[in-house]
Structure 1
Amino acid sequence: MTFISVTRLRLRSRRYLPSFLLNVFLSTWQAINAEGFKGGKLLVDANQTYWTMTAWEEQAAMKIYRNAGAHRQVMPKIQDWCDEASAVHWRQEGDNLPDWIEVHQRLIKDGFLTKLSHPSPDHLTRNIPQPKSSKTGTIFHPRFNYARNRVSCCDVETLHVTSLHQNDNFS
C-alpha cells in the first residue's frame, strides 16, 4: 500500500511568494531525501494556489518528514501566509500518483481545513475549487533508494526534478 498526502494552499498576498517558494524548495529537497518517500507532484494553479502531492511507503514516514526540518519550520507560517489551506490523506494500491481531478474529489469528500488567521469566504464555507490547470505539474522522485542503499542517477548537487511529461509511475 502507498500512503498519499495532499495539500492545497492559496497565498493571500504576493508579498509572501518569495518566502513561500524558498520553503517549497527546501521542503521538496527534504522530501526527496526522506526515507520512505516514493515520489510527488507540485502544481502551480490560478489565483496564487499551490497543490502538493506526495507518496510514501507508510504514514509513519510522512509524519517523520512532516514533523522535522524545513517542513516543520514553515508549517506555522501557513496560518498567516494563506487564506485557504486544506489537506487530505489516503492509502491506495500501487505506486501511481492520481490525477488532480481525483485529488480534488478526495479533498472535497475527505479533506480537512487548516486553521488560518485570515481565512477567505471560500475557506470558511469549504468551497475548494477544482484545479484550473490541466497540466500534470512538476514531478519529483526520491534522491536516495534506501532499499538499494544508493543515490539515484541524478547529479547530487541538483534537485532531482523531472519534466512535466514523464510517466507518473514511481515503482
Structure 2
Amino acid sequence: MVFVSSTYMRLKSPLYIPLLIFYVIQAMLQVERASGKLNTRYRWIDGEFWTLSLWRDEASMKAYRNQGVHRQVMPKLVKWSSEAGLVNWYQESTQLPDWQIVEKRMRETGRMQKFGHVAG
C-alpha cells in the first residue's frame, strides 16, 4: 500500500500568481529531496492549482509537509486563496491516479475550506 495526497487551491486574484509560482518552484525542489516520495504531478486549470503526490507512507508525507518551504507557505493560503482542499488515501498501485479519480475523491471525501473572496 502507498499513500496518495492531493491538494488544490483557488487563488483570490491573479496578482498572487507570481508569489505562488515562486513558492511552488521551491516546494517542488524540496519534495524532490523528500524521503519516501515516490512520484508527483501538478496542474493549473481554471484558476486552481493542484498537487498530487505518492508516498511510501503517511509519515513520509507529513515529514515533508511539516518542514522547509512547504511549512512556510501553508499559512499564506488564507490570504491568497478563496478556497483550498486536501484529500488523502491509500492504494495498492504505485502509479499516480488519473485526475478524474483525484477530483472525485476531493468531492466525496476531501477536506475543503473557504477563506473569503476579497483580494487583499
Q: Which has the higher contact order (CA 8 A, sep 6+)?
A: 2
Larger radius of gyration: 1
AA aligned opposite 1:69: G
Report which of the two has the higher share of strand: 2
Give the paired residue count. Answer: 118
Instruction: Specify which structure has the higher proportion of helix.
Output: 2
Q: Is the 8 A contact 2:82 2:114 kept in 1?
A: no
Whole-Å separation in 1 of the counterparts to 2:67 and 2:113: 19
Residue 140 of structure 1 is matched in structure 2 by none
Distance 2:109 2:90 in 1: 12
Distance verdict in 2 for CA 1:50–1:86, change over 3 Å: same
Normalising by the residue count of structure 1, what TM-score does the alignment of the two structures yield?
A: 0.67
Q: Hey, what does 2:99 align to over in structure 1?
A: 100
Length-normalised TM-score, structure 2: 0.94
Q: Distance in 2 between matches of 1:115 and 1:104?
A: 17
Which letter maps to 2:32?
A: I
Deviation of residue 119 (structure 1)?
A: 4.9
- Partner residue in 2 for 1:143: none
Distance 1:86 1:66 in 2: 15
Counterpart in the other structure of 1:131: none
CA RMSD of aligned residues (A): 1.3
How many angstroms apart in 2 are the aligned matches of 1:114 and 1:57? 27
CA distance in 2, matches of 1:6, 1:14: 22
Shift of 1:101: 0.5
Structure 1: state its 5+ residue gaps.
121-171
Runs of 4+ deviating beyond 4 Å = none
Q: Which runs of structure 2 are paired with 1:68-147 in the superposition (5 Å)? A: 68-114=67-113, 116=115, 118-119=116-117
